[in-house]
Amino acid sequence: MAAPVPLILASASPRRRELLAQLGVKFDVVVAGITEHEDPSTDPRTMVAHNAALKADWVAERHPDAFVLGADTTVFIDRTVLNKPRDLANARAMLKQLSGRTHTVFTGVALRRGRDGVAVDEGVSSQVTFRPLDDAVIDAYFRVVNPLDKAGAYGIQEGREMIIAGWEGSFTNIMGLPMERTKQILTTWGLVG
């Protein structure tokens, strides 16, 4: 019996690891040694596609026989990208900007295999509507969730009842890896049964 084709997740995100594991596929994690492009004035679709490809390409170059999955997610409102906040004051400012409004979450997904030049690039977007937030709600949210490692200073998977009124589109996209599309890509390449 042939050995299974290796799959590598090119991400440090624990949320992406948890989501990918739900597909029942075996994979390793290799964090790409790259600097992400995070200019807030960049088109969000372009930025997440670029960063996802950058991560996947870097790892695929070092593991040419493996399929490598890269992803990048950002939050977009007022024609501005909200990446991971610099500090708690920046996180608070982001949540105030999102308060009572609807924004878009964009994720870029890239699949690479170096040995034969496999290159698949996809983009997914979802809409999230926030409840109106005051300082007391933000303080309570920060006691439950670390906002510093999340684009837009929030995560939909924990404490959402405190800040989120609703969403449209892929829930897992908002978490950081659109599983519906990712499963389709991996199935096409025989990585998921």
- Span 113-140, pLDDT tens digits: 999 999 999 999 999 999 999 999 999 9
Q: Is residue 109 part of a domain?
A: yes
- In this prediction, residue 193 carries a pLDDT of 75
User: Is residue 193 in a domain?
Assistant: no
Distance CA 91, CA 156 (A): 15
Is there a catalytic annotation at residue 139? no
**Residue range(s) defining the domain that contains residue 156:** 7-188
The CATH number of whichever domain residue 151 belongs to comes to 3.90.950.10
Identify whether 1 is part of a domain.
Answer: no
pLDDT of residue 1: 41
- Is 50 a residue whose pLDDT tops 50? yes
Q: Which of 43, 57, 65, 72 is catalytic?
A: 72
Which tokens sit at 191?
């990585």
Residue 2: inside a domain: no
The predicted structure's pLDDT at residue 40:
78
Q: Is residue 181 part of a domain?
A: yes
The number of folded domains in the chain is: 1
**Of residues 138, 126, 127, the one with CA closest to residue 99:** 138
Residue 143 CA to residue 111 CA, distance in Å, equals 36
Which pLDDT tens digit goes with each residue over 60-111?
Answer: 999 999 999 999 999 999 999 999 999 999 999 999 999 999 999 999 999 9
**Position 171 pLDDT exceeds 80:** yes
* Residues 83 and 110 sit within 8 Å (Cβ to Cβ): no
Q: What is the distance between the alpha carbons of residues 188 and 120, in angstroms, rounded to a whole number?
A: 11
